[in-house]
């Protein structure tokens, strides 16, 4: 656990403490540790440079951080056995939603992920980011959601 400090609002030091009082301890969850590691790795990725023929680089952890964080905070918890991660975001999945294998309908309707999605600095004209408003379907994300629903059906039938 981390110790957080909050300002008391007093400009005069109270008994030599500089005006700061310790706040209650902040619980550092599995999801927050995971997100911290992602941010550190992402900072390293930003240093990469690409030459021709690469013209467009999409990093959903930058422009879709809000929805990605919602996914991780919701599903990366102590006791979880699996957390789905991806490394090559599909154009109509994670590239749109920030969620690995994140077919938009599954992300919104089934996973209940909310948040805003921005846009990369440069977009390919045929691969524009519309975020959770995207109407196209990502095949890998749809197949994964079908497997999850099948697993749930088997659980409920057992």
- How does pLDDT run across 104-118, given as a tens digit for each residue? 988 999 889 999 999
pLDDT at 66 over 70: yes
- Alpha-helical segments (H) within the chain: 30-45, 60-63, 65-75, 94-97, 104-105, 139-157
Q: What's the predicted TM-score (pTM) here?
A: 0.71
Same domain? For 104 and 123 the reply is: yes
- Alpha-helical segments (H) within 5-125: 30-45, 60-63, 65-75, 94-97, 104-105
Same domain? For 56 and 27 the reply is: no
Same domain? For 9 and 63 the reply is: no
pLDDT at 129 over 90: yes
The number of domains in the chain is 2
The predicted structure's pLDDT at residue 117: 96
- Structural domain of 78: 50-157
Same domain? For 90 and 102 the reply is: yes
Contact 144, 84 (CB under 8 A): yes
CATH code (residue 58): 3.40.470.10
The predicted structure's pLDDT at residue 141: 60
Same domain? For 58 and 116 the reply is: yes
């Amino acid at each position: 656990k981390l110790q957080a400090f909050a300002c008391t609002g007093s400009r005069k030091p109270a008994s030599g403490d500089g005006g700061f009082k310790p706040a209650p301890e902040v619980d550092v969850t599995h999801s927050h540790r995971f997100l911290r590691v992602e941010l550190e790795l992402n900072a390293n990725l930003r240093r990469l440079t690409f030459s021709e023929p690469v013209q467009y680089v999409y990093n959903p952890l930058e422009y879709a951080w809000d929805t990605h964080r919602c996914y991780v905070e919701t599903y990366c918890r102590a006791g979880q056995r699996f957390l789905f991660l991806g490394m090559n975001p599909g154009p109509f999945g994670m590239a749109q939603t920030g969620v690995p294998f994140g077919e938009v309908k599954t992300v919104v309707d089934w996973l209940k992920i909310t948040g805003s999605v921005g846009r990369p600095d440069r977009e390919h004209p045929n691969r524009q980011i519309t975020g959770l408003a995207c109407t196209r379907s990502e095949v890998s994300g749809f197949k994964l959601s079908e497997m999850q629903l099948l697993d749930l059906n088997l659980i409920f039938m057992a």
